[in-house]
């Protein structure tokens, strides 16, 4: 029987959607700059499958700059209600322009306008500055579709390692590790 960590992820993700009170698609993405300095933040999973796990952001943000310098990332899902975690590590590449356009056009209009108004990760003198820039974006695109800014896109993390962690009493947790070898996956266990 072929080992398929993506089918297992689909099962767990469906269970998380049914049981999590918050956002089951919330994931921590850890990146590192060229010097190796790590950074982590929460983003939302927007697509997933055997080709990888996708999220969107401003490519000029800290994470975008770090991914340009060091195109690798680690992802962590924590579903407290299920007492489960999924850890993913892999190479990162930008999504296609078509994918970015399609997702951007599906976003709420205020989110689209916010992408135009925000210099993500850069210092801001006061909240009113951002609100003013948001108002300018509203006026600029009044009565028309909001196009995707050139600096806004997505990333796909193509995993080479996926760990499924299940909490057990007395810290005797279960850890299933899937490792990619070429186009195939091997499965093993890790001590808790």
Q: Residue ranges of the domains in the chain?
A: 5-104+154-190
* The pair of three-digit structure tokens given for residue 121, joined into one six-digit string: 């990760």
Residue 180 catalytic?
Answer: no
The CATH class that applies to domain 5-104+154-190 reads mainly beta
Which of 133, 171, 175, 176 is the catalytic position?
171
Q: What percent of the chain has pLDDT over 70?
A: 99
Q: Where would I find the H helices in the chain?
A: 5-19, 62-69, 97-106, 109-117, 127-140
Instruction: Give the model confidence (pLDDT) of 81-129 as tens digits.
Output: 999 999 999 999 999 999 999 999 999 999 999 999 998 888 999 999 9
Q: What is the pTM of this model?
A: 0.93
Give the HSE-up count for residue 180: Cα atoms under 13 Å, Cβ half-sphere.
Answer: 16
Q: Which residues contact 34 (CB under 8 A, 6 or more apart)?
A: 69, 70
Contact criterion met (CB below 8 Å) for 81 and 19: yes
């Amino acid at each position: 029987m072929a080992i398929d960590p993506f089918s297992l992820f689909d099962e767990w993700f469906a269970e998380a959607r049914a049981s999590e009170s918050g956002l089951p698609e919330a994931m921590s993405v850890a990146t590192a700059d060229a010097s190796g300095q790590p950074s982590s933040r929460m983003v939302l999973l927007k697509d997933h499958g055997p080709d990888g796990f996708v999220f969107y952001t401003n490519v000029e943000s800290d994470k975008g700059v770090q991914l340009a310098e060091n195109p690798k990332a680690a992802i962590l899902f924590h579903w407290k209600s299920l007492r489960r975690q999924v850890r993913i590590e892999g190479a990162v590449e930008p999504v296609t322009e078509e994918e970015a356009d399609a997702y951007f056009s599906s976003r709420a209009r205020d989110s689209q306008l916010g992408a135009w108004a925000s210099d993500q990760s850069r210092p801001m003198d006061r909240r009113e500055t951002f609100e003013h820039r948001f108002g300018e974006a509203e006026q600029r695109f009044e009565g028309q579709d909001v196009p995707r800014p050139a600096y806004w896109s997505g990333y796909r993390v193509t995993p080479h390692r996926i760990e499924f962690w299940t909490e057990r009493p007395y810290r005797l947790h279960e850890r299933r590790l899937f490792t990619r070898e070429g186009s195939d996956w091997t499965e093993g266990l890790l001590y808790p």
